[in-house]
Chain A
């Protein structure tokens, strides 16, 4: 085979991967049309947190140099994306357990199309979540107080965080034996991680031990990064841990390191589970 033929074949393979992945992604869309409840965890659930903290707990939490609502939304955006690992994890675990993957694998579709289609569809769900959160934030009085480049960077960071969570969730779905296992493991890890953090309250008020955990918790770093780029108060105390005092750089590094570790592991685990 000459160089040109090889190149043409590669291009053909890429086109095949794209079109096959879109067919798979459209399948998820069909699922959402049938069971709209699937979108509850990226719409109603974060809205409930906004209402709960903005109107119920918010009055008793004081934020230095700003209002609680301008502080809150950055945290809930990160928390929503964190809880977002349930979506890709559950759908992947369900598909792997049922026979449908055998059908796909017996078809002449691209080897990675199922995984890529899954990633595309779930990324779509994250975009919905971000839009819902930003809209509800604007309604309760949160504002983007930085300039346009910083705001764009903030959305870029959210997208990068979404991709990180997408890979984490997909890995969880691939290694879990069933969707129930996903829920179990997910709650045991995501709950403490998103609550013992600066998601809802500044770290300064936490008791020793929990405070250090919160300062080094990547969730806190991401929340501070998003708040910084949107021009919202971060309430970071002086002499805070390095990731908290360099939130934007810290956030990007956390994301890149996690993706570099998790994405190849996911590909490896997925291949292992789907070739017998």
Chain B
């Protein structure tokens, strides 16, 4: 008999060939996942990549069109009630009641988890304190700042101390200080044994928090691995060129191409072009090639690959494929 449905061998989250179709469009397809208890999985991707769809299915809010998934050992469709007893969800939109105080919100949620009244009240107090909301506990939530509301949202998903937590872009719209505080708290929760699945558009966030990353692109898994594996697999080292104007991007990409071991990436907004290179590539030759091509570079340097590069090279390559087909 296992109380939480999780034995040490059961993955906290497991999905097999999960898919969700809206009309003709697959929002998520062939999604496989296995998250061990007590670890953090980062789900990365652009808007519309299928991150929220995956979370909605795993938290029983949406029904899968294909495949199956188990959370805390229970099937998300057939045993949705058991799953709901063991998960906490912080969605992208505010899911707390603006016309109630923070404390009343948490007590209501506790009651709906079927905690006895006194327990729900005590738990609300504990969570307000833990998320530094005690001073504002009696205030109406609609008067909360964005950061306070996100914290309360997180508190709401912690009411029943669920073993598995789903966080859909938990730090979107937070200032750097609040973001750091939230990261700290998430690390604490993992330290206490919780399993986290979080989606994010911020690569730094995925890098710093996740044990494993799954990169979604248009509903399909484009890459997966630990942050270090992903960086190593997509060009351990890069040469990056800063340009004076956007018109030069194409010319710079052309000049870098002979040195690149994979697709050359460009960031038109920041006027940067970068290419994954081998250790044998000499910087001086790159500079010479750029000069001969008439590229006005303001800076040329070698650096370690970041998740941004991985992201750009994978999603960029996928776009290229689509154009080619």
Which of B110-118, B181-189, B216-224, B301-309 is the contact stretch? B110-118
> What separation, in Å, do the CA atoms of A125 and B95 have in the docked complex?
25
Return chain B residues, CB-CB under 8 Å to A109: 112, 114
The complex places the Cα of A16 from the Cα of B96 at a distance, in Å, of 22
- A107's partner among B94, B97, B99, B109 (CB-CB below 8 A) is B109
One of B54-62, B246-254, B259-267 at the interface: B54-62
CA–CA, A170 to B113, complex, Å?
A: 26
Asked if A23 and B111 sit within 8 Å, CB to CB, the answer is yes
A106, B114: Cβ atoms under 8 Å? no
The CA of A34 and the CA of B114, in the complex, are separated in Å by: 26
* Given known contacts A20-B112, A103-B109, A106-B89, A276 and B95 CB-to-CB distance under 8 angstroms: no
B75 to chain A, nearest CB (A): 15
Which of B85, B94, B104 is close to A30, meaning CB atoms less than 8 Å apart? B104
Whether the Cβ atoms of A102 and B99 lie closer than 8 Å is no
Q: Which of A19, A26, A104, A109 has most B Cβ within 10 Å?
A: A109
Contact of A276 among B63, B104, B109 (CB under 8 A): B63
Chain A interface, >50% SS class: helix
The one of B81, B93, B99, B156 that contacts A35, using a Cβ cutoff of 8 Å: B99
Q: Which residue of B lies closest to A103 (CB)?
A: B95
Nearest Cβ in chain A — how far from B298, in angstroms?
Answer: 45
Closest to B60 in A: A106
B99 touches A31 (CB 8 A): yes
Closest beta carbon of chain A to B63's beta carbon, Å: 6
Closest to B89 in A: A106
Chain B, range 79-107, C-beta contacts under 8 Å to A: 81, 84-85, 87-89, 91-97, 99-100, 104
Q: Are B85 and A103 in contact (CB under 8 A)?
A: no
B112 proximity list for chain A (CB < 8 A): 20, 23, 104, 107-109, 113
A160-B111 Cα distance, complex, nearest whole Å: 31
Structural contact, B113 and A108, CB atoms closer than 8 A: yes
Chain A contacts to B: CB under 8 angstroms: 16, 19-20, 23, 26-27, 30-31, 34-35, 98-100, 102-109, 113, 275-276
Q: List 11 A-B contacts (CB under 8 A).
A: A23-B108, A30-B104, A31-B99, A98-B94, A99-B95, A100-B96, A102-B61, A102-B91, A103-B95, A107-B84, A275-B63
The 9 closest A-B pairs by CB, nearest first: A99-B93, A103-B95, A276-B62, A108-B84, A99-B95, A106-B89, A109-B112, A108-B85, A107-B112
12 new A-B pairs (CB below 8 Å) besides A99-B93, A106-B84? A20-B112, A23-B108, A34-B100, A34-B140, A99-B94, A99-B95, A100-B96, A102-B89, A103-B109, A106-B61, A276-B56, A276-B61
